[in-house]
Structure 1
Amino acid sequence: MGDVLVTLKILPKDTDADIKSIEDQVKRNIEGLCSINRMDEVDIGFGLKYIKLEIIVQDKEGEIDRVENSISSIEGVGEISTENVSLI
């Protein structure tokens, strides 16, 4: 089995959420589950931002779910969606 590059969109619960704090917690929570390829803050507009996260995980059943569950347990995270999955 190979690896997959996964792009996740992480939305905060509200506009007052500390994006930097969420980013730091994401890094801590997913350590050992995957490797981070890239993490960016993206402006939506009107002060809203989300985190665009590119990770590399093993191409095994349930790996992406484990990462998403780990991220969703973070205080301040509202919604997570998978935007893209590519075999690498």
Structure 2
Amino acid sequence: MGEVSVTLKVMPEGTEVDLKKLEKEIKSRMDPHSIEEEPVAFGLKSLNVRKIIPDDAGGTDQLEEELLEIDGVKDVKVIDQRKLL
């Protein structure tokens, strides 16, 4: 069994959401490989969350649902998924 690198774009509800607090909550729930801020528009930033999962994990639905449960998260979208050698 191999591993898969998944990058999810986490969109906050607005510019008033504290991204540092959001990042801390994500880290406490899912132990991501990395989290990076990305400017979107007009002061709004998203968080790109990279997580390494087993190849047989059955997809990303569980990760997406877990992130959507966090207060301040408006949307979650998979933006990259690749098998690691």
* Fold-level similarity (TM above 0.5): yes
One-letter amino acid of the structure 2 residue matched with residue 46 of structure 1: F
Mark the runs of 5 or more structure 2 residues left unpaired by the alignment. Answer: none
Report the Cα offset of residue 63 of structure 1: 4.7
Determine the C-alpha separation between the residues in 2 that align with 1:64 and 1:6. Answer: 8
Equivalent residue for 1:87? 83
Tell me which moved more, 37-46 or 12-21: 37-46
Equivalent residue for 2:4? 4
Tell me the secondary structure at the aligned position of residue 60 of structure 1. Answer: coil
Determine the C-alpha separation between the residues in 2 that align with 1:71 and 1:57. Answer: 15
Determine the C-alpha separation between the residues in 1 that align with 2:57 and 2:38. Answer: 29
Percent pairwise identity: 31
Report the Cα offset of residue 61 of structure 1: 4.3
Equivalent residue for 2:22? 22
After superposing on structure 2, the runs of 4+ consecutive aligned residues of structure 1 that deviate more than 3 Å are none
Corresponding residue pairs, total: 84
Of 52, 60, 65, the residue aligned with 1:64 is 60
Say whether the 8 Å CA contact 1:57–1:63 is kept in structure 2: no
TM-score normalised by the chain length of structure 1? 0.87
Determine the C-alpha separation between the residues in 2 that align with 1:37 and 1:29. Answer: 12
Mark the runs of 5 or more structure 1 residues left unpaired by the alignment. Answer: none
CA RMSD, 1 decimal? 1.3
- Asked if 1:51 corresponds to 2:47, the answer is yes
Q: Structure 1's 63 and 29: CA in aligned 2 closer, same or farther, altered over 3 A?
A: farther
TM-score normalised by the chain length of structure 2? 0.89
Report the Cα offset of residue 39 of structure 1: 0.8
